[in-house]
A and B are shown apart, each in its own frame.
Chain A
Amino acid sequence: MGNSKLYKGSLNTIILKLLEESDKMYGYEITQKVKEITKGELNITEGALYPALHKLEAEGLLDVEMQKVDNRLRKYYKLTEKGTTETANRLSELEEYIRTMQTIINPNWSIN
Chain B
Amino acid sequence: MNLGPYANFILSAYGAAALIVIAMVAWVAIDHRRQARALAELEARGVTRRAEQRQGGTTSGAAS
**A and B found bound together:** no
